[in-house]
């Protein structure tokens, strides 16, 4: 076992403890960025001037009327930017644009003594525009060939020969929606400048270092002149990885120009209309199976809806291609990816980062083709699992594929799947207007950033003279429990009780050059860095203890808050040891560092080993559908998920449950709508955008962590848990497909939209009722069967 994975006895990691801020959350005492406004004097408030056109050229802008509004202090425009007028890493997102690119695009910002004064001032700004043609849908973009960014290709084997050798070939089309983040805390920033000109920005951001960089280049300052702090976020889900930077830059620019603190907080409508969402996708595919139902070839084109700028669309698309195989071996693969440029807010990262979209394509393919092949969908999936020695289409060997089978079999046993399938069949035979469905789906999700350089982290650990410990790391807390895990890692590495360790907010002047807290890698990267810093301190303290205990430093062990000599009863208490080290002038602070080893990725060839490991899981979902309305309820969900040796089991269980419910929301409830004529975002409130609630929770919800699953080379043998559970919700969608199919004859293919809202399910039920089972049609010249299937979400 590697030293990184090795876990000592009586460790703090692996103990089920509450989230470190749980009590603060539920009592309302937890501070968020906007709460700091009440603690800051003379704050100005920023408000955007949004233009109600999907695409238009600005011909004139008059800000003078705003300055006549009582309480308005200043209007920020492009002329005020001393540096680069851009908020994106691709330099394609003007902070103050001259061309409106989506309905509600902010073109300038008003600063007021109160938010009401700023709002009235924004309403007084006069903007003249020349409307331009707009592209709102992905299909329109495809037809207009409106694309942006790289267009990667993933190739393996001989796809044409694979199809030629296939016994069954199907092809189809599938379009599915994105998803709104709908974090509880909207985008927020508070900026001020001190007497030395240092710019300090409090930001609700998943990537403080990049926020720092963008603020610096907008203001023509060095990064050393900008400090960014993130106390905590009220949710992020990827929506605060890239998109907070521009809002922080606006606040910082206003503060520099006025000499006063500036607060920017979007209201819910502004956040929904101005910020990006999960990428919707359009997929066109062709797939071949042999007579046994084993996948032989896949040829697909995936087109993501990038919105008006690139943002993170290129890496999102790459991860989608990397996960189009999900858990299945496909010998011959050809997948082409492209990014549509549409007149919408720029779509961005969202939990799973393209992985869910790629995996949804293959799960939809299997769900639709299974009845046409005459094979039970559960068996078809299991039959195509990866096995030992096989590699992904991009060339990475799949390690521990046996865990897929272990997880699947344990799920089948724990979920009593066979008996329930028989029970559901009996129920469906006797209930003509209500049907039930049960489906199992797997997850294989790669952990690490696709961009190798991002797979590094830093930490700073202080031990004070009284023996107390303060840790700071580069990860941000958004409710996912990262700080909780880091406290447990530090306590374990130092051999201390958990209560002796405290944690400070994430700041760029404490840990520099950090990566985003994203890609499910927060605990892996920052945990490795915290452990490294603590081990440096332990090494120094062992030498001190050895002189007191009369032994070799290699024979000193620190645990339970004391240093012990191996083979002796001699001990020295932690507090005494630390004080002795101080008197001996031993450094009691350490900067830790970690980099993920063994990664390499070649973007031009789309080949390499971009992931440290794969997280595995599987879910079984049972639903009941009303044939008159399409309404449904989730009766039961069973999950078995691989988190390695959990760092914090209670946190991991919460992440699995929350990720599953969020995934079910994306696939069944959350229906993004835009006006196809003027590009206006229509579902811009909780009244029109339906989110999962308690009523959508499964009536029975069982989650099991896979046992005996130590992950070599990861901190204390753990695995990431942030994103993979979201894809477990595919089981709900496939269960709905099975229930809808039960209204028709056996052997029919069910076309189910995504999201599978009650309306979509109703139409799937109606189609099933009128279907005639025709498993194979339109045989081509070579005599092999071919079926065309299509879906439009």
Report the catalytic residues. Answer: 723
DSSP structural state of residue 664: H
DSSP structural state of residue 328: B
**Rounded distance, CA 349 to CA 515, Å?**
14
HEC per residue, 750-767 = CCCCECCCHHHHHHHHHH
**Rounded distance, CA 306 to CA 147, Å?**
9
Q: How far is CA 115 from CA 39, 189, 267, in A?
A: 17, 14, 11
Reported as half-sphere exposure (CB side, CA atoms, 13 A), residue 446 has a value of 31
- How far does Cα 180 stand from its chain's mean position? 12
Q: Are 30 and 21 in contact (CB under 8 A)?
A: yes
Q: Are 729 and 619 in contact (CB under 8 A)?
A: yes
Q: Are 84 and 217 in contact (CB under 8 A)?
A: yes
Q: Are 346 and 93 in contact (CB under 8 A)?
A: yes
| CB-CB neighbours of 586 under 10 Å | 15
The residues, ordered by sequence, that sit 6+ positions from 625 with a Cβ below 8 Å of its Cβ are 434, 435, 436, 437, 631, 632, 736, 739, 740, 761, 765
Q: How far is CA 4 from CA 19, 113, 293, 533, in A?
A: 24, 53, 42, 13
Tokens 């107390």 belong to which residue? 468
- Tell me the backbone φ, ψ of residue 362, rounded to 5 degrees: -70, -30
The radius of gyration computed from the CA coordinates of the chain, to the nearest angstrom, equals: 28
Instruction: Please spell the DSSP secondary structure of 347-396, one letter per residue.
Output: P---TTTTHHHHHHHHHHHHHHHHHHHT--HHHHHHHTB--TT-B-TTS-
- How far does Cα 702 stand from its chain's mean position? 23
| 3 state SS of 254 | helix
Q: How far is CA 72 from CA 75, 116, 215, 265, 534, in A?
A: 8, 10, 24, 17, 51
Buried b vs exposed e over 444-477: b needs ≥16 C-beta within 10 Å? bbbbbbbbbebbbbbbbbbbeeebebebbbbbbb
- How far does Cα 195 stand from its chain's mean position? 39
| 3 state SS of 473 | strand
The two structure tokens encoding residue 397:
């060997």
**Rounded distance, CA 268 to CA 280, Å?**
21
Q: How far is CA 434 from CA 421, 502, 538, 667, in A?
A: 16, 54, 64, 21
Q: Are 653 and 785 in contact (CB under 8 A)?
A: no
Q: Which of 725, 754, 690, 656 is nearest to 180 (CA)?
A: 690
Do β-strands 281-289 and 295-305 pair in parallel, antiparallel, or remain unpaired?
A: antiparallel
| CB-CB neighbours of 535 under 10 Å | 16
**Rounded distance, CA 254 to CA 319, Å?**
37
Do β-strands 44-51 and 262-265 pair in parallel, antiparallel, or remain unpaired?
A: parallel
Q: Are 392 and 329 in contact (CB under 8 A)?
A: no
Beta strands in 36-86 (DSSP E): 44-51, 56-62, 72-76
């Amino acid at each position: 076992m590697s030293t990184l994975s090795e876990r000592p006895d009586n460790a703090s990691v692996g103990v089920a403890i509450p989230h470190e801020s749980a009590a603060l959350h539920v009592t309302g005492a937890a501070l968020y960025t906007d709460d700091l406004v009440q603690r800051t004097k003379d704050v100005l408030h920023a408000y955007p001037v949004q233009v109600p056109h999907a695409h238009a050229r600005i011909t004139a802008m008059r800000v003078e009327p705003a300055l006549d509004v009582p309480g308005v202090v200043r209007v920020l425009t492009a002329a005020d930017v001393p540096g680069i007028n851009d908020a994106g890493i691709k330099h394609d997102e003007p902070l103050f644009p001259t061309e409106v690119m989506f309905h509600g695009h902010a073109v300038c910002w008003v600063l007021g003594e109160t938010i009401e004064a700023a709002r009235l001032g924004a309403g007084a700004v006069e903007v003249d525009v020349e409307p331009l043609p707009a592209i709102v849908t992905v299909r329109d973009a495809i037809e207009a060939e409106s694309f942006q960014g790289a267009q990667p290709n993933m190739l393996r084997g001989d796809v044409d020969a694979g199809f030629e050798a296939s016994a069954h070939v199907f092809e189809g089309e599938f379009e599915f929606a994105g998803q709104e983040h709908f974090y509880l805390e909207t985008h927020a920033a508070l900026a001020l400048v001190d007497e030395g000109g240092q710019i300090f920005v409090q930001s609700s951001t998943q990537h403080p270092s990049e926020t720092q960089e963008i603020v610096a280049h907008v203001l023509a300052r060095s990064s050393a002149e900008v400090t960014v702090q993130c106390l905590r976020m009220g949710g992020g889900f990827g929506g605060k990885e890239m998109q907070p930077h521009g809002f922080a830059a606006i606040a910082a620019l206003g503060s520099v120009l006025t000499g006063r603190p500036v607060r920017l907080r979007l209201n819910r409508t502004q956040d929904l209309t101005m910020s990006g969402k999960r990428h919707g996708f359009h997929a066109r595919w062709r797939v071949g199976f042999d007579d046994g139902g084993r996948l032989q070839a896949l040829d697909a084109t995936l087109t993501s809806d990038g919105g008006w700028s690139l943002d993170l669309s290129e890496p999102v698309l790459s991860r989608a291609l990397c996960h189009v195989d999900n858990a299945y071996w496909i010998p011959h693969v050809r997948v082409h990816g492209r990014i549509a440029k549409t007149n919408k807010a720029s779509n961005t990262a969202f939990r799973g980062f393209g992985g869910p979209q790629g995996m949804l394509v293959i799960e939809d393919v299997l769900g639709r083709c299974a009845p046409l092949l005459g094979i039970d969908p559960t068996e078809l999936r299991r039959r195509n699992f990866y096995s030992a020695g096989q590699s992904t289409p991009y060339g990475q060997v799949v390690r521990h594929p046996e865990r897929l089978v272990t997880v699947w079999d344990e799920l089948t046993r724990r979920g009593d799947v066979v008996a329930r399938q028989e029970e559901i069949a009996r129920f469906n035979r006797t209930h003509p207007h209500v049907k039930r469905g049960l489906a199992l789906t797997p997850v294989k999700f790669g952990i690490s950033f696709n961009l190798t350089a991002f797979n590094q982290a830093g930490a700073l650990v202080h031990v004070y003279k009284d023996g107390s410990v303060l840790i700071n790391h580069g990860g941000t807390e958004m409710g996912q429990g990262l700080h909780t895990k880091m406290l447990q890692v530090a306590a374990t590495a130092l051999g201390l009780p958990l209560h002796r360790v405290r944690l400070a907010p994430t700041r760029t002047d404490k840990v520099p050059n950090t990566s985003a807290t994203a890609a499910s890698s927060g605990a892996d990267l920052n945990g490795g860095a915290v452990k490294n810093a603590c081990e440096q301190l332990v090494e120094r303290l062992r030498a001190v203890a050895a002189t007191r205990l009369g032994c070799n430093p290699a024979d000193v062990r620190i645990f339970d808050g004391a240093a012990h000599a191996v083979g002796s009863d001699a001990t020295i208490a932690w507090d005494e040891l630390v004080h002795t080290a101080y008197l001996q002038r031993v450094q009691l602070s350490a900067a830790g560092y970690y980099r993920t080893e063994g990664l390499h990725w070649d973007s031009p060839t789309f080949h390499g080993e971009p992931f440290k490991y794969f997280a595995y899981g599987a879910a079984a979902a049972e639903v009941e559908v009303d044939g008159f309305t399409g309404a449904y309820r989730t009766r039961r969900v069973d999950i078995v998920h691989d988190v390695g040796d959990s760092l914090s089991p209670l946190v991991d269980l919460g992440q699995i449950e929350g990720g599953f419910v969020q995934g079910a929301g994306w696939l069944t409830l959350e229906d993004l709508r835009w006006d196809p004529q003027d590009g206006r975002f229509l579902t811009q409130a909780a009244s029109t955008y339906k989110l999962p609630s308690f009523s959508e929770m499964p009536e029975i919800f069982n989650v099991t962590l896979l046992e005996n699953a130590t992950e070599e080379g990861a901190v204390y043998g753990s695995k990431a848990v942030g994103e993979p559970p979201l894809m477990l919700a595919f089981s709900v969608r496939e269960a709905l497909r099975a229930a809808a199919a039960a209204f028709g004859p056996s052997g029919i293919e069910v076309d189910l939209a995504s999201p599978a809202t009650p309306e979509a399910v109703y139409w799937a039920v109606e189609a099933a009722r009128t279907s005639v089972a025709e498993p194979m049609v339109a045989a081509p010249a070579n005599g092999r069967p071919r079926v065309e299937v299509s879906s439009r979400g």
